Amino acid sequence: MTVNAALLSDRARGINVSGIRRVFELGAKLPDPINLSIGQPDFEVPPAMRRAAAEAMDARQNGYTLTHGTAALRERVAEHLAWDIGWRVGDGGPSVAITSGTSGALLTAFLSLIGPGDEAIIPDPYFVMYPVLGQLTHGKCVPCDTYPDFRMTAERVEPLINDRTKLVLLNSPGNPTGVVMSTKEVRDLLDLCRSKGVVLISDEIYDEFTFSGGRTEPAIGDASSLRCPSPCRVDGSADDILLIRGFGKTYGVTGWRLGYAAGPSWLIDAMNRIQQYTFVCPPAPLQAGAIESFGVDMRPQVDEYERRRNEVAGALSELTEVATPEGAFYAFVRVPESIGMTGSQLTEALVERNVLVIPGGVFSGRDTHIRLSFSAPPAKLSEGVSIIADLMKR
């Protein structure tokens, strides 16, 4: 008897290849594409981080660490959280765990909270992983329609909460939209989750990639003036929120697969138990490199990305609807009805012109937009935007 794909589980059969990966495959067939699809920075890893990781390897720090990360990195994260949002880790307060990327944190969180019949509320548009988390945990991800402004407000979330709801997942700055929630919006959403007894997960992978229009006023020291409004800055939020952040996007180390989660000890402990049987532990020498990230000033790089944002939004907002990105490095651009195309069709037309973007249907129940990344060399970005604008004028 031949072993074949009929043995695959329903879970595996129900998960499709990411639409982003499909675009990557198309790009591999082009000799020199204008790649505005990729979601990773195009700047170099800070030298201090590279040196620290290399020195750790040379010092033979290449074995297992504790499941929840090295003590040195966890202590540095705890210091940073105290400085940034006022959370005091330990002594009955929130706990911290180092994770295998923010994706690892999201998966272990869902595995800890969601079971058969349980529900999680996610934004639409969403990061491509979010709906799949429901499939992997035998639960259901309920999309919250955030069109046309892409703000996941309490008013939009409340009608979706029921007795099966376990968590609400907020992503600000958002992928694919770059939209940043206001201080009032994040406070209202946390108040709603508290009143309903559900966990708020705040996915802040782009927390330091916030542009001038999306920053809040100083609240704790001067740290919060550099970052987007976060529900974690609300008094007592450590009891109700799971905060997820990472190093990959901010410091250009997406391949290091390092993030961290902070929140109630009962939830962090559960995530650690699952991590020990899945990811085991984050990469040991790279944790040493991540420690150095907290002393690196990335403002020049973020300011350069804000300049690129201005170029993209300025060129395309004259032709169609563009929610001005206040963080991350994406623009979610509506396809003009006048050209008679879906997001997928426009994406295919752009491939013929050597430009790679992602169709909006990859991130949403609608296929009315495209996502373009401005994490590309400036000359390539300008050329690509010009080609997109030319197609939209037809």
Q: What is the pLDDT along the chain (394 residues), one digit of tens a residue?
A: 577 888 999 889 888 877 777 777 777 778 889 999 988 899 999 999 999 999 999 999 999 999 999 999 999 999 999 999 999 998 888 999 999 999 999 999 999 999 999 999 999 999 999 999 999 999 999 999 999 999 999 999 999 999 999 999 999 999 999 999 999 999 999 999 999 999 999 999 999 889 986 555 444 334 434 568 999 999 889 999 999 999 999 999 999 999 999 999 999 999 999 999 999 999 999 999 999 999 999 999 999 999 999 999 999 999 999 999 999 999 999 999 999 999 999 999 999 999 999 999 999 999 999 999 999 999 999 999 999 999 998 7
Cα 181 to Cα 156, 189, 245, distances in angstroms: 13, 10, 16
Tell me how far the alpha carbon of residue 226 is from its chain's centroid.
18
Domains and CATH numbers, the chain: 5-44+298-392 (3.90.1150.10), 63-295 (3.40.640.10)
**Cβ pair 170, 186 in contact under 8 A:** yes
DSSP alpha helices (H): ranges in 96-214?
101-113, 129-136, 154-157, 183-196
What is the dihedral sign for C-alpha 11, 13, 19, 24?
Answer: positive
Q: Quick one: pLDDT at residue 223?
A: 41
Question: What H or E segment, with its residue span, contains residue 271?
Answer: helix 265-275
- 265's CB contacts (< 8 A; 6+ apart) are 94, 95
Q: How many CB atoms lie within 10 A of CB 13?
A: 10
pTM for the structure as a whole: 0.94
- How many Å apart are CA 189 and CA 200, to the nearest integer? 8
Residue type, 276: Q
**Cβ pair 69, 214 in contact under 8 A:** no
Classify 195 as helix, strand or coil.
helix
**Cβ pair 36, 376 in contact under 8 A:** yes
Half-sphere exposure of 237 (CA within 13 A, CB side): 25
- How many Å apart are CA 207 and CA 198, to the nearest integer? 23
Q: Parallel, antiparallel, or unpaired for β 119-124 and 140-145?
A: parallel
Peptide bond into 336 cis (omega under 30): no
Residue type, 247: F
Q: Parallel, antiparallel, or unpaired for β 241-246 and 330-334?
A: unpaired
- How many Å apart are CA 100 and CA 83, to the nearest integer? 24
- How many Å apart are CA 376 and CA 19, to the nearest integer? 20
User: Taking Cα atoms as reference points, which of 225, 113, 90, 223 lies closest to residue 165?
Assistant: 113
Classify 265 as helix, strand or coil.
helix
